[in-house]
């Protein structure tokens, strides 16, 4: 949408034809925020708005596009994409007390994640069972150092 180079994907028709639907984010050229939660929400809202049908895709389907569908898209559905015995523990733990995720009830958790959450709600992250971020603090690298290096690289590229 940022580059205005396409329309709205015909997701229901793709699904009916057996196409694996997934959602992801490219890079800053086409998506400055790289926020998967925003991508999931945008995908759902575009489908609903372009078809004038609020029931076109359920929240669970949208979440599945990002998880199960994403894993299948890269050929890793047997090891990632869902929480199952034998799969890698790639998990995001969100702050359920965040105002934008409340009221939080069993029947609206998925809908709140899809339509109300953002990367700002992520509290902790595990990759392959290894704690990468805890209580919003990255444990595996010096975040300030990485940002400084990125800014230096940008200055060098742009002169």
pLDDT of residue 98: 95
In a domain? residue 133: no
pLDDT of residue 7: 86
pLDDT of residue 147: 95
In a domain? residue 66: yes
pLDDT of residue 87: 96
Number of domains in the chain: 1
In a domain? residue 29: yes
In a domain? residue 143: no
Report how far residue 91's alpha carbon sits from residue 83's, in angstroms, rounded to the nearest whole number.
8
In a domain? residue 132: no
In a domain? residue 54: yes
Which segments of the chain have a pLDDT < 50? none
Q: Residue 16: give the domain boundaries.
A: 1-78
pTM of the model: 0.88
In a domain? residue 122: no
CA atoms within 13 A on the CB side of 140: 8
pLDDT of residue 2: 78
In a domain? residue 98: no
Pair 94, 113: CB distance under 8 Å: yes
């Amino acid at each position: 949408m940022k580059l205005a180079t396409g329309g709205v994907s015909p997701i229901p028709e793709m699904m009916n034809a057996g196409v694996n639907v997934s959602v992801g984010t490219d890079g800053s050229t086409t998506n400055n925020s790289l926020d998967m939660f925003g991508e999931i929400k945008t995908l759902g809202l575009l489908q609903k708005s372009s078809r004038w049908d609020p029931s076109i895709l359920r929240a669970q389907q949208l979440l599945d596009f990002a998880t199960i569908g994403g894993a299948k898209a890269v050929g890793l559905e047997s090891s990632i994409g869902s929480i199952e015995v034998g799969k890698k523990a790639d998990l995001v733990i969100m702050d359920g007390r965040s105002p934008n995720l409340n009221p939080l009830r069993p029947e609206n958790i998925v809908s709140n994640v899809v339509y109300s959450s953002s990367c700002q709600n992520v509290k902790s992250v595990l990759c392959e069972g290894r704690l990468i971020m805890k209580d919003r603090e990255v444990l595996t690298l010096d975040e300030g150092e990485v940002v400084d290096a990125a800014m230096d690289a940008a200055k060098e590229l742009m002169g």
